[in-house]
């Protein structure tokens, strides 16, 4: 009697083939990841660019012929703009002026930004000086120091301008308001440079006397507004003034008699 032929059982373990392939690929992937973790930045970027090119097949512009090196790559980084970098210093500058205004209760203390980017700090006479004097008040030293620290951080050129009212002054030290306003500006500049380290080539002192009033001089209140010091934090470096040099002359040229005037040509 013939034996019954056993029915072939359906293989339910074929998924193991796909699983084994998946495990093999996963193992290869982690091997690659481990291998690139211990190499230099150049190889890592090469692998990264290859993956990006495979996932995003976009035509890229032609590359330059400059050879790639890790050192150059590290140097290529996005730097913050000057405005972003200087913003904390500008906030501190405004806070200093706001604190001074609250302490002195003087409305003339202002911070104004001009259309060209310059920052103008307006300080009344009484904050820095006594009437008719050019020496800084001891109470003004902390303010000057805080302001000097911010100016160093801003790294901008600063123009200090002295202003007076139209009341004449005639002393042995200050024959006129011109000398008073200029000396006060120089005093502030010297304090920034000598005491607080602001670079000398970033500072300029100017005296305007009463030539640039902000109010009429008819009342004591308006004259007090005109007696002020303005600190202009400039957005751009001021253009250097051209210096005209005279051609050197010899001794013969210096002492030679001027040529006689030429006689006019006879008329027709």
- The pLDDT > 70 percentage for the chain reads 64
Task: Spell out the domain ranges in the chain.
Answer: 18-57+69-75, 82-233
pLDDT of residue 197: 93
| Burial class (CB within 10 angstroms; exposed 0-12, middle 13-18, buried 19+) of 219 | exposed
More confident residue, 266 or 133: 133
The fold of 82-233 is 60s Ribosomal Protein L30; Chain: A; (3.30.1330)
pLDDT of residue 228: 95
- Give 172's pLDDT tier (boundaries 50, 70, 90): very high
Lowest mean pLDDT among 123-127, 142-146, 224-228, 237-241: 237-241
Average pLDDT over residues 136-145: 90
- Give 17's pLDDT tier (boundaries 50, 70, 90): confident
More confident residue, 6 or 238: 238
- The pLDDT > 90 percentage for the chain reads 34
Going by C-alpha positions, the residue among 232, 157, 240, 143 that lies closest to residue 195 is: 143
Provide the mean pLDDT of the chain: 76
pLDDT of residue 190: 96
pLDDT of residue 78: 37
**Cβ-contact 99, 92 below 8 angstroms:** no
Total residues found in the chain within this entry = 268
45-104 pLDDT, tens digit per residue, is: 665 565 555 545 444 444 444 443 434 444 444 344 444 446 777 788 788 888 877 777
Average pLDDT over residues 22-50: 67
């Amino acid at each position: 009697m013939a034996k019954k032929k056993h029915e072939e059982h359906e293989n339910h373990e074929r998924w193991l083939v796909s699983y084994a392939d998946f495990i093999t690929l996963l193992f290869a992937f982690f091997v690659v990841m481990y291998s690139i973790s211990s190499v230099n930045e150049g190889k890592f970027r090469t692998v990264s660019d290859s993956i990006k090119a495979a996932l995003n097949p976009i035509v890229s512009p032609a590359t330059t012929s400059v050879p790639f090196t890790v050192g150059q790559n590290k140097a290529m980084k996005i730097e913050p703009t000057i405005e972003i970098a200087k913003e904390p210093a500008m906030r501190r500058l405004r806070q200093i002026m706001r604190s001074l205004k609250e302490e002195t209760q003087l409305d003339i203390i202002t911070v104004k930004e001009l259309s060209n980017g310059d920052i103008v700090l307006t300080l009344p006479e009484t904050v820095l000086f006594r009437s008719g004097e050019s020496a800084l008040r001891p109470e003004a030293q902390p303010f000057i120091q805080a302001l000097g620290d911010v100016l160093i951080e801003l790294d901008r050129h600063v123009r200090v301008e002295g202003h007076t009212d139209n009341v004449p002054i005639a002393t042995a030290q200050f024959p006129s308001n011109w000398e008073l306003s200029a000396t006060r500006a120089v005093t502030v500049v010297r304090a920034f440079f000598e005491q607080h380290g602001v670079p000398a080539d970033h500072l300029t002192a100017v005296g305007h006397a009463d030539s640039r009033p902000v109010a009429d001089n008819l009342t004591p209140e308006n004259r007090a507004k005109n007696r002020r010091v303005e600190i202009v934090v400039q957005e751009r470096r001021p253009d250097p003034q051209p210096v005209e040099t005279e051609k050197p002359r010899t001794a013969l040229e210096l002492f030679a008699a001027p040529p006689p005037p030429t006689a006019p040509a006879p008329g027709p």
